[in-house]
Structure 1
């Protein structure tokens, strides 16, 4: 692992676990948003373990019938585990404000990502920097309510 990947991994871990700690300490009241984006907890099924896995994320697009999340991992050279898990099992759950709902994940194709990318970087310009710092194409994931 190179220095950039170590820094990206550490930063992603601090953001996720710091956010989770703040939610726990404040009884789920703070922070509801980070950098103007909706915060949420994504629940996937581990592709190897079969166990439920939970990850704190922000959504640059958060609508009743669509949530968009970005598998940036701070610009790390490898995809985050939560993304690998939902590729293997696209049925996921999302918790917002202590309410958990069922969603189906879809890895955006290049045209979908191109259409969403301006909105994503408007919500958080950091995503553009993450994409510039890595050779991998950072995945964009579209979640739709499960019927």
Structure 2
């Protein structure tokens, strides 16, 4: 798909990494609200959820639109803490480490989930799948010194 390759190429640039974190989540939140949770603008390229987690430090509820890799026919999802290839782990990953019980909005349905950080061989296998799913993740990883966090969130 030519369109997908162009989007992947653009999303791998440093310019995209500077702009996208400020624009894409705001647009996704607006579309999600307007459509009563049925759609995310970014889901036109990648499946997405809106994660509601508890702030690691604040204890406040945080809503974050995220790309995801659905598994097991929507019973679990992989969340990838790429942060668009920027330094530092995204805040939502710290939230899930501190408070693994969360919820996601998936295709208009709110679902209670529990998050688990993937490590070792399990992480390696999922990372390989993630690279096939969205090749720009390789560029994001090469750009940063940290290991990109992968979480599996599963229905409670």
Is the shorter-chain TM-score for this pair beyond 0.5, marking a shared fold?
A: yes
Structure-2 change in CA distance of 1:105 and 1:9 (3 Å): farther
Question: Structure 1 residue 110: deviation in Å?
Answer: 2.6
Query: Is this contact kept in 2: 1:40–1:57, CA < 8 A?
Result: yes
| 1:1-34 alpha-carbon deviations (Å, 9 max, x no partner) | xxx6x96353222121122233345554454824
Query: What does 1:54-133 align with in structure 2 at a 5 Å threshold?
Result: 54-63=63-72, 64-133=74-143
| Partner residue in 1 for 2:51 | 42
Query: Is this contact kept in 2: 1:107–1:142, CA < 8 A?
Result: yes
Q: Does 1:52 align with 2:78?
A: no
Structure-2 change in CA distance of 1:19 and 1:80 (3 Å): same
| Partner residue in 2 for 1:137 | 147
Query: Is this contact kept in 2: 1:8–1:74, CA < 8 A?
Result: yes
| Partner residue in 1 for 2:20 | 11
Moved more, 7-16 or 99-108: 7-16
Aligned length: 141
Give the structure with the higher percent helix. Answer: 2
| 1:9-68 alpha-carbon deviations (Å, 9 max, x no partner) | 532221211222333455544548242x32110010011111100000011234332210
CA distance in 2, matches of 1:75, 1:68: 17
TM-score (norm 1): 0.84
TM-score (norm 2): 0.80
